[in-house]
Amino acid sequence: MPRFSPTMVPATPVSIAQAAALVADGDVCAFPTETVYGLGADATQEAAVLRIYELKGRPRRNPLIVHVPDVAWAMRVCAAFPPLASRLAERHWPGPLSLVLPRGAHIPDIVSAGLPSVAVRVPAHPVALSLLRAARRPLAAPSANRSESVSPTTAEHVLRSLPGVPLILDGGPCPLGIESTVLDLTQPRPRLLRPGALPLRDLLSDVPDLELPSCHFDEVPGPLPSPGLLTRHYAPKATLHLVSNPEARFVAGLPSPTGLLTHAPLPQLDGLCDVVERLPATPEAYAVDLYAALHRLDDQGMRSIVVLAPPRNEDWRAIFDRLERAASKAA
Ligand code: AMP
Ligand code: MG
């Protein structure tokens, strides 16, 4: 049983001060960022960070991102801060870009899953920034949900996924809706580790020699890769089918109730799905509502969710990554 009943409170100077006191004391709290809600703990206290892994059921080999209020703090968290990191920080912080750099001495192994590096970012949400300033310490903060499940973009999502969190600061829906872009700067050539809310286009203009991991939409259009090859993540309770051209026969054969998530009209499916979530046809606007739409479909008890696959191009890469992982089967 949790020590406290879960408390979801509007983010105000008073509740933010309470949250800052909690994390200083080695506890955790959930707070809004511009990407998704985070579950934060003092990144310098090993036992506090351990609580994050326990509450989320997160595998210990999955490192966390450290959130800081400004570049000066980022420099304290990292053992080195090369000129490219400074340039990117100047352009994109506060914002949805996480930089992986050599880990500073004050950051314990557990934050980075034992790696010699650490991921760091300055979030752009006013509540996150106020909390970081009030706490006067870096906060390790992954998404505030059970491991593998759909990330939270509202305080209610956090409450339902993690009832054991002692304090949830409610700052309304997250403005961007998917996780940060993660960039590795520890190698001679910068490398994209995770596509995310910072559009790749923006990053490529700053880092033209950016190494992009090979990815499925580099291939000639064809069937999607075997879902079993992908790490399951961001997954709703319903079975998710990512389909380029959903045919009526396929959809009619799925266990019902069936939900449809689409960014374009699909007249061939008229009347075949129990609930239809229509998302915008641009990647940034689609991202804002993606997780919330998956939560809504789960809340309505869907057993199957059919997702119209987005275009296979760089602009949709972050969304494609999330949908592919959500569609992959449990290991
Ligand atoms: P989440 O906290 O769920 O947003 O996930 C953070 C992600 O950032 C991890 O799953 C990794 O992909 C990446 N990450 C964090 N720290 C590191 C690191 N030190 N080295 C490489 N990747 C990292
Ligand atoms: Mg997460």
DSSP letter for each residue of 287-321: HHHHHHHHHHHHHTT-SEEEEEPPPSSGGGHHHHH
Instruction: Spell out the per-residue pLDDT of the chain, length 331, in tens.
Output: 444 455 999 999 999 999 999 999 999 999 999 999 999 999 999 999 999 999 999 998 899 999 999 999 999 999 999 999 999 999 999 999 999 999 999 999 999 999 999 999 999 999 999 999 999 999 999 999 999 899 999 999 999 999 999 999 999 999 999 999 999 999 999 999 999 999 999 999 999 999 998 765 444 334 444 433 457 788 899 999 999 999 999 999 999 999 999 999 999 999 999 999 999 999 999 999 999 999 999 999 999 999 999 998 999 999 999 999 999 876 5
Instruction: Count Cα atoms within 13 angstroms, Cβ side, for 183.
Output: 27
Atom of ligand 1 lying closest to residue 194 CA: 12
Q: Is the CB of 111 under 6 A from ligand 1?
A: no
Residue 63 Cβ inside 6 Å of ligand 1? The answer reads yes
Q: Ligand 1 in contact with 43 (CB < 6 A)? A: no
Centroid of ligand 2 to alpha carbon of 317 (angstroms): 17
- Ligand 1 atom nearest residue 113's Cα: 19
Among 258, 273, 264, CA closest to 244: 264
pLDDT of 74-131, one tens digit each?
999 999 999 999 999 999 999 999 999 999 999 999 999 999 999 999 999 999 999 9
User: Quick one: which ligand is closest to 326's CA?
Assistant: 2
Which residue's CA is the nearest one to ligand 1's atom 6? 64
321 touches ligand 1 (CB under 6 Å): no
Q: Which of 49, 60, 194 to mutate to test the pocket of ligand 1 (most atoms within 8 A of CB)?
A: 194
Residue nearest to atom 10 of ligand 1 (CA): 62
Expressed in angstroms and rounded, the spacing between residue 322 Cα and the centre of ligand 2 is 11
Do residues 142 and 182 lie in contact, with contact meaning Cβ atoms separated by under 8 Å?
Answer: no
One DSSP character per residue, 186-249 reads: SSSS-EEEE--SS-HHHHHHH-TTPBPPP-GGGSPS-SPPPGGGSPP-SB-SSEEEEESS--HH
- Residues 188-211 have pLDDT tens digits of 999 999 999 999 999 999 999 999
Which atom of ligand 1 lies closest to the CA of 98?
8
Q: Is 186 close to ligand 1, i.e. is its CB under 6 Å away?
A: no
Ligand 1 atom closest to residue 142's alpha carbon, by position in its atom list: 2
What are the CA-CA distances from residue 87 to residues 194, 208, 280 (Å)? Answer: 20, 14, 33
Ligand 1 atom closest to residue 184's alpha carbon, by position in its atom list:
21
Q: Relative to the alpha carbon of 181, which ligand is closest?
A: 1
| Residue 258 CA, ligand 1 centroid: distance in Å | 33
Query: Considering every ligand atom, which ligand is closest to the CA of 162?
Result: 2
Is the Cβ atom of 195 under 6 angstroms away from ligand 1? no
Q: Enter the pTM of the model.
A: 0.93
What are the angstrom distances between the C-alpha of 4 and each of 1, 38, 128, 192? 9, 19, 23, 40
Within the chain, residue ranges assigned H as helices are 13-24, 46-56, 71-77, 83-92, 126-135, 155-161, 200-206, 248-252, 283-299, 317-327
- Ligand 1 proximity of 117 Cβ (cutoff 6 Å): yes
